[in-house]
Amino acid sequence: MEALLSAWFGQNGRDLPWRETTDPYAVLVSEVMAQQTRIDRVVPRWRRWLERWPTVEALAAAEPSEVIGAWQGLGYNRRALNLHRAARQVAEHGWPDDLTELPGVGRYTADAVACFAFGRDVLPEDVNVRRVQERTGARFTSAAAQALMDLGATVCLARIPRCEACPLAEACPSRGRRYAPQRRQGPFEGSFRQRRSVALRAALAGEQPCDAEAVAALARDGLVRVRDGLVSLPSTAP
């Protein structure tokens, strides 16, 4: 199956800019940005981020407020702070053997950086990779990682897979099946997530947010700080 997948990938693989580098910092940024964010939104933001902070040392030297501001529009702002904290840790101590020691880096992200940047023989299993392996019943090596991700993202879809376009369909025991829709996150409009976003945008603009509950949630995540009743962005200064 892996040979068929490789041939398909050669013709159909997505042209993603971070696939052209083995810089672990650039790969880490791409993986963190791509969590719960559409790839078409990530590509231009990844490029702008690397233009502004081209090295892990450059990001480590940035103020947290700068990082939060640059992240706006990607959602889940804690990812930005964790990426900044990870950069500071790497700049000071180097890349750890166990990448899960870095702030915000879980098993999948650690394996992705290990595979794509450091060339380690580990298969990073995101939702797309797991879906293809579960449906085909096959196991793949780390060499197939990018192909599996693309197959899961574009062909072996969650609800109605495009079996007619799949290079593995002939031997796939799940061929032709349809799946129940997955539970989706509630709408952003009117949600507490939106209230947090409004409060954070106010702080970024130098204003005082008036939503105390949203501010408290942001403060717990380290995205703002509250001193003497005044809300400000986090800073490396005391």
Q: Is residue 160 part of a domain?
A: no
Q: Is residue 141 part of a domain?
A: no
Q: Is residue 44 part of a domain?
A: yes
What is the Cα–Cα distance from 54 to 21, expressed in whole angstroms?
13
What is the Cα–Cα distance from 90 to 23, expressed in whole angstroms?
13
Q: Which of 56, 116, 121, 122 is nearest to 85 (CA)?
A: 56
Number of domain units in the chain: 2
Report residue 136 as tokens.
């085909």
pTM: 0.89
Q: Is residue 140 part of a domain?
A: no
Q: Residue 55 is inside which H or E element, if any?
A: none
Boundary of a domain, candidates 116, 139, 156: 116
Q: Is residue 163 part of a domain?
A: no
Q: Is residue 132 part of a domain?
A: no
State the residue range of the domain holding 202: 192-232
Boundary of a domain, candidates 116, 134, 156: 116
Which residues form the catalytic set?
31
Q: Is residue 62 part of a domain?
A: yes
Boundary of a domain, candidates 100, 116, 132: 116
Q: Is residue 126 part of a domain?
A: no
| pLDDT tens, residue order, the chain (238 aa) | 899 999 999 999 999 999 999 999 999 999 999 998 999 999 999 999 999 999 999 999 999 999 999 999 898 899 999 999 999 999 999 999 999 999 999 999 999 999 999 999 999 999 999 999 999 999 999 999 999 999 999 999 999 999 999 999 999 999 999 988 776 667 777 788 888 889 998 998 888 989 989 999 999 989 998 998 889 888 865 4
> What pLDDT is stored for residue 238 in this prediction?
46
Q: What is the CATH number of the domain that holds 52?
A: 1.10.340.30
